[in-house]
Each structure stands twice: as C-alpha cells, then as structure tokens.
C-alpha cells in the first residue's frame, strides 16, 4: 500500500499533508498471478512529494502527524463504542414512543399526529460522544485498517511523475500569487481542479472555508437561524465522508 504525503504551499509557508487514501503499488510487467514468497511481507510506502529534499526530521514530522490523526479517529471510535449501548436503547425506545404518540394523536386529527411525530423525533439523540448518527463509522473503520499497517510505512521520495509535476506547478503558481489570503487559496484550489487533483482541491477548499470568508461570512452567520445551522450539520453527518487527511506545519520554501 502507498500512502501519499505532499508538501504544499500555504499562505507564505508550507503545509505537510498526508492523505488517508492508500493505493496499491503498480504491478511490474509479467507479475500477474505471481505471489510474494511465503513469510515475506513487502513494506508499505509513505511516498513524499515536495519541491525539494526533506530532512529526516521533516519526514518524521509528516509520519507523526499521520499516525496522530489515526489515533484521534480511533479514540473517537472508542468513545462511540462506549456510548453505543446507550444510543441503541435510546433510539429503540424513542422510535417506539414516536409510533405510539403518532397513533394516539390520530384520533383528534392528522394535524395532531404530525405535530406528535415531529415533537417525538426532536427528542432522539442527534449527537453523542462524537457520533452524529448511530450508523456512521466509515472514518473510524478506515482509521483502524490504516493503523494496522502504519508501523510498516517506509518513507521514500514519491515516484509518480504526474504527482511530482502537480506539486512543482503548484509551487510555481504560489510564488507568483499576491493579494488576500482567500483569493490566493482560491487560485491554488482552481489549479488543483484544472489538474483533476481532487485531494489537493479539497485541502485548499477546506483552508478557505476555515478563513470564514471575512466579514461577509461573519455577517451571514449572524443572520442565519441557529436551527438552520444545526440542520445543515445534521445533514452533512448523513452524507458519505471524504477520506480525511493529516496536516503538519512545515518550513517555508
């Protein structure tokens, strides 16, 4: 398995980003159907793409941030498991009470049944112990699979010429950028999208969102109803999760 790490430009400095999306190494020609010798385990690779050579300490920083991000996800999974029994019974009894209240309210009329259904559903848990939905567990499961192989990661310089070309082009663009931070991040995100590099585009989109968009976004947050903000967060919890990534601050290039 190959785990890719990139040193990317970020507002006058650089960020080391390790994506969780491991991929299989390419098979050599004529290797189809040939298995490795019994008892021999090929080491997994941490492929590093950077604008220049990294020191051993910088490579260690990338690897440590990746392992730490896996550890945080596993800790959240432990909290979810601890709360799993409570959530199960809470949802089971809550749904049963919802059905009974709705059926009971059918006598006065359908409108009362609808109000009883809404009122009962609002009492069900939406977020507990870091779990936004009882059936969510994609990130924790992925972290568990990657953590079992993290100790075997062997750092080396990435060998994919396309990935190295993307990084070098991104740095050439970043050294020419000027203006507001949000505008610079938008330019970097646009370059990644032009290169069909969804991981890099997502990183810069997340950084741009973290800036908040300035005073305009702050004003929009003030006028947005709180219930709408909570509804958006709840719906985002139901959507499929993108594989996360680890970020470490690096030296400026």
Phi, psi of 163 (to 5 degrees): -65, -40
Whether this model's pTM surpasses 0.85:
no
Task: State residue 141's pLDDT score.
Answer: 76
Token readout for 160 is 């994919």
* Angle, in degrees to the nearest 10, between helices 138-150 and 56-104: 150
Quick: pLDDT tens for 94-149: 777 777 666 666 666 666 666 666 666 666 665 444 444 444 456 777 888 888 88
Domain residues of the chain, as ranges? 177-242
Q: What Rg value do the Cα atoms of the chain yield, rounded? A: 24
Q: State both tokens at 103.
A: 């059926």
Long-range CB contacts (within 8 A, 24+) of 193-199: 195/166, 195/169, 197/166, 199/19, 199/21, 199/245
Distance CA(191)–CA(182), nearest Å, equals 14
Residues of the chain short of pLDDT 70, as ranges, are: 26-42, 76-91, 100-138, 213-243
pLDDT computed for residue 125 by the predictor: 60
Q: What H or E segment, with its residue span, contains residue 10? A: strand 2-10
Beta strands in the chain (DSSP E): 2-10, 13-19, 45-49, 154-157, 245-250
């Amino acid at each position: 398995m190959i785990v890719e790490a990139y040193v990317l430009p970020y507002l006058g400095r650089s960020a080391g980003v390790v994506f969780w999306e491991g991929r299989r190494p390419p098979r050599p020609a004529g290797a189809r159907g040939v298995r490795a010798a019994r008892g021999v385990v090929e080491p997994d690779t941490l492929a590093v793409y950077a604008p220049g050579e990294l020191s051993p300490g910088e490579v260690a920083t990338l690897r440590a941030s990746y392992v730490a991000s896996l550890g945080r996800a596993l800790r959240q999974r432990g909290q979810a498991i601890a709360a799993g029994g409570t959530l199960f019974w809470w949802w089971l009894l809550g749904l049963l009470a919802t059905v009974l209240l709705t059926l009971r309210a059918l006598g006065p009329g359908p409108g009362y049944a609808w109000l009883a259904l809404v009122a009962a559903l609002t009492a069900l848990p939406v977020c507990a112990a870091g779990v936004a939905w009882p059936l969510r567990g994609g990130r924790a499961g992925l972290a568990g699979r990657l953590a079992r192989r993290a100790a075997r990661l062997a750092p080396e310089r990435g060998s994919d010429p396309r990935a190295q070309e993307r990084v070098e082009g991104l740095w050439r663009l970043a050294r020419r950028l000027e203006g507001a931070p949000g505008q610079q991040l938008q330019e970097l995100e646009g370059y990644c999208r032009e290169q069909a590099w969804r991981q890099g585009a997502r990183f810069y989109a997340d950084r741009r969102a973290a800036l908040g968009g300035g005073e305009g976004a702050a004003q929009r947050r003030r006028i947005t109803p709180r219930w709408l903000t909570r509804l958006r967060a709840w719906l985002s919890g139901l959507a499929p999760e993108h594989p996360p990534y680890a970020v470490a601050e690096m030296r400026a290039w």
